[in-house]
Amino acid sequence: MDQNATNQIVVAAFYKFADLPDFAQYQGQLQDVAGQNQVSGTILLAHEGVNGTIAGPRDGIDRVIATIKTLPGCETLEWKESFTDKNPFHRLKVRLKKEIVTMGVQNIEPHKSYEQYVEPSDWNSVISDPETLVIDTRNDYEVSIGTFKGAINPETNSFRDFPAWFRKFREKNDIKKVAMFCTGGIRCEKSTAFLRSEGVDNVVHLKGGILKYLETVPEDKSLWDGECFVFDQRVSVGHDLAPGSYDQCFACRRPITENDKTSPLYVEGISCPVCFDEHSEDRKIAFAERQKQIKLAKERGEKHIGITRVQKNTTSESTDFPGLKIDWDERDL
């Protein structure tokens, strides 16, 4: 641990596929441990495992992580840490879900997919095999700013669309070997379980996702092209996880360039060249009011707190991006 970060807030992002048929019984335990240790954020529990991002003091994060590791099958939980001066979350939520990342397919076993991972150091050789089909399991707006050379973009708007895309794709293509990847590992790990349930045995995924690859593989040996979209204040990152060049439209959460912001279709917090015709006038009025409140809060030196539970409890307001709703079924950790 960086000794300079001792007094900072620790932000921990994690997921673990595990067989948790009685997952609801752990909700109260996690709420109590986090509450007693000044830890906030969101934790999802489902029959297939746990997924979340939490923030708090060093000791508090350690206690929550230690508690999660006592859950059946979670002993080998891994997590990513970053540090900040202020807690990015206002409260703690431990939610019970049907899935920790929503695909909408029953009777698959993602907790067994760990057996199919490829280390970042071996990834180049795997995807350079001409017989291997390389699939990017992320959403189209993420793929648009960067992907691995030669990877297939399913052009999906949501991870829920992936199964239908694959079944249709398979009807027209001979599949021998498959290698899949996503931002942090959760979507490609679940996609691996799905493909195995569809009878595709020779399928692997990138351990730790794109972020681990960019962190560990030297740029001069990299097969990554572009930047990687991330679900935090950086918006995108490059090699060595250096902050990228993209900003974000708060209305549609897609990445935008500085050139996009010169378009007459771009209005901060309300629309961008991609989403200007996707929202109703009522929605745009609501966006405008939200942006006004954000500006006023900033002028007063305060943090704007937006709606925290909307759309059937699947979204939560990001304090990194005030007013931006983050869908926890899509957020990749």
Q: List residues with catalytic annotation.
A: 182
Is 45 within 8 Å of 26 (Cβ atoms)? yes
Q: Pick from 64, 55, 59: which is nearest to 88 by CA?
A: 55
Which phi-psi region, left, alpha or beta, contains residue 16 (left: φ > 0; alpha: ψ -120 to 50)? beta
> Measured at the alpha carbon of residue 188, what is the angle toward residues 74 and 48, in degrees to the nearest 5?
35
Is 14 within 8 Å of 78 (Cβ atoms)? yes
Alpha carbon distances (Å) from 92 to 29, 165, 258: 13, 35, 35
Tell whether the torsion through CA atoms of 253, 254, 255 and 261 is positive or negative.
negative
Q: Pick from 330, 285, 80, 72: which is nearest to 186 by CA?
A: 330
Residue 136, C-beta contacts closer than 8 angstroms, at least 6 positions apart: 143, 147, 148, 151, 152, 153, 154, 180, 181, 182
Q: Pick from 54, 63, 51: which is nearest to 82 by CA?
A: 54
